[in-house]
Structure 1
Amino acid sequence: MSGSDPSAASPLPLGPERSIDSWLRRLLGRAPRRGPLAWLVELLAFGLKQAWACLFGAALLAVILAARLWYPDGVWLARNDALTLAAVAIQIVMIATRLETWRELRVIVLFHIVGTVMELFKTDVGSWTYGADGVLRIAGVPLFSGFMYAAVGSYLVRVYRLFDLRFTRYPRLWVTAVIAAAIYANFFTHHWIWDLRWVLVAAVVVVWGRSMMHFRVFRRTLRMPVLLAFLLVALFIWFAENIATWSNAWTYPSQADGWELVGISKLVSWFLLMIISVVLVTWVYPPRAPAGPASPAVPAGPAARG
């Protein structure tokens, strides 16, 4: 843990995020620098940044929940189509207000494509199902489903710059790309051959096991093992998945006779999906080493990755 000057240049792009960040820095800057209140301020800043990073996903989840509670039956616009149009509107607003950059939109669109391809396959083999209403769909998959993967991408690119993430001993990018490709392939091939998910989990532990993530909260820069960060995000997605399935966004076979909690085993799938997600994000934000006299912040290369 090391100190961090809250007046340092913000990694945020110009626009409303920079303004909000500056306002919060002035507000929180009045707090003491030491003692329990100082740590309470750090906790508050951490929560605010996490909530802001979840903006796209939280808005989409709120729409899904609202559709479950209040969307009327028998209206001319099918519920799934309404969810798709709402997701498109959220994305347009994010770009128009500069809450996301065009550079970040590239990786979010890639998340959308990767997720939709997986959805087409998984629904075809019966891993889960969607309601049959609506015309904005490909085969049995409503188009709003791809935005749920895009929400994960949005969170990751936003959390990267909100917390000014830096890494030590980050693995070589070509190694991470190979593992991500193998994980993605296994989501398909395990229906015909051996399921290699535990082998892939072991590979992830070996490759990322020594890597540490450094994240700037407010005045302090903290660190945690990268694997722990992956697991915590996977757990958060699992909670969101339970809300979405309760809202009938999609249904697992075990929920066909009534909703029940999504099996905790899904955490493994989400953990592995995090690897794919992180590798896609490094396309936009290459991992950087912590800034310091002995360790300048540079794009991830052999020296930076260790």
Structure 2
Amino acid sequence: MMHSRFYQIRLVLEEYSPSGKWQSWIFEFLLFGFKQAWACLFGGLLLGLILLTYFLYPENIPIARYDFLVVMAVAIQISLILFRLETIAEARIILIFHIVGTVMEIFKTAHGSWVYPENGYLKIMNVPLFSGFMYAAVGSYIARIWRIFNMRFSHYPSMAITYIIAMLIYINFFTHHYFYDVRYFLFAVIIFIYLKCFVYFKVLREYRKMPLLLGLLLVALFIWFAENIATFAGAWAYPNQTKIWQMVSIDKLGAWFLLMYISFILVSIIQKPSPPQIYAE
């Protein structure tokens, strides 16, 4: 199995034994942050690029900013693979998310859910190709964090049920424009199914645990923060942001939670949820 360069660094850090309880706690906290940052590598680079080009991109050059973002997103992806900062398996996951996200983008922009205000040639209909990489960044994060933290799950529901729920969520993203929006029903189903489910993750040597629902909600919250940065930087705009930027409605947090669920289930097809081997009681 091919590992990324980070794998060897992670093994060295995990072998380190701090002296003292407080030193151990601080080191584990810092290692947790380091692992999270590594899992966010693709998304962090893309978001940083969006923000940087918003402030510094030259006005009078032949290539549009959106097209430049597409080229750079592809370059980042290729570089991560060539320098073994990302595995081929992770790249495949990114491709799946790119396709799933782009299809939804085409539909949503056609129905006025949001717009891409800048010009460019590298588009499908009104959707710049870099938008698919933003969805891919979410998939990349989940795939990485699952592996890096050696995640395990207790009271995990039937895989068939999780696939059905994810499919219903994805369908509802489209059908709610024509029929009744059943997202609140889907929220209730997810809470009922996953209420007892805990995710176990290993930062250093011991497994820690937290409710899986809380974990998904926290990630959705950070995506909402990133979305505010991206819309401020003109990556896209909601109808209430076309004239002057304002914060994205907190209501979008629910949509991001549902998208996080779909992303999680897509990754679970490859990673296969396993029961905990060590319980962190």
Q: Shorter-chain TM-score: what band?
A: over 0.9
Letter in 1 for 2:180: W
1:23 equivalent to 2:9? Answer: no
Distance (Å, rounded) in 1 between the aligned partners of 2:72 and 2:188: 39
- C-alpha distance in structure 2 between counterparts of 1:191 and 1:71, whole Å: 36
> Equivalent residue of 1:283, what SS?
helix
Asked if structure 2 preserves the Cα contact closer than 8 Å seen for 1:104 and 1:284, the reply is no
Structure 2: unaligned runs, 5 residues or longer: none
| Unmatched runs of 5 consecutive residues or more in structure 1 | 1-11, 294-306
Does the CA-based 8 Å contact 1:132-1:140 persist in structure 2? no
Tell me whether 1:257 sits opposite 2:246 in the alignment: no
8 Å Cα contact 1:15/1:99 also seen in 2? yes
Q: Which amino acid aligns with 1:100?
A: E
User: Offset of 1:132 from its aligned partner?
Assistant: 4.2
Aligned mate of 1:150, from 128, 131, 136 = 136
Determine the structure 2 residue equivalent to 1:35: 21
Counterpart of 1:14 in structure 2 is 3
Aligned residue for 2:269?
283
- The equivalent of 2:75 in structure 1 is 89
Contact 1:216 1:222 in 2 (8 A): yes
Report how many residues are paired.
Answer: 279
Question: Normalised by the size of structure 2, how large is the TM-score?
Answer: 0.96
State the match for 2:230 in structure 1: 244
CA contact (8 A) 2:4 2:86 kept: no
Partner secondary structure for residue 179 of structure 1 = helix
Query: For the residues of structure 2 that align with 1:161 and 1:136, how far apart are their CA atoms?
Result: 33
Which residue number in structure 2 is paired with residue 301 of structure 1? none
User: Taking structure 1 as the reference length, what is the TM-score of the superposition?
Assistant: 0.88
Distance (Å, rounded) in 1 between the aligned partners of 2:162 and 2:8: 35
Q: 2:94 matched to 1:108?
A: yes
Q: Quick check: 1:205–1:227 contact (8 Å CA) kept in 2?
A: yes
Deviations 1:246-285 (A, max 9, x none): 0000000011121100000000000001110011001210
SS of residue matched to 2:45? helix
Residues 81 and 150 of structure 1: is their aligned pair in 2 closer, same or farther, counting only changes over 3 Å?
A: same
Which structure's residues are more often helix, by fraction?
Answer: 2
> 2-side partners of 1:88 and 1:280: how far apart?
22
CA gap 1:206/1:198 in 2 versus in 1, 3 angstroms: same
The worse-fitting range, judged by mean Cα deviation, of 95-104 and 72-81 is 95-104
2: CA distance between counterparts of 1:14 and 1:229? Answer: 26
Displacement of 1:137:
0.3
Offset of residue 35 of structure 1: 2.1
Question: 2:217: which partner in 1?
Answer: 231
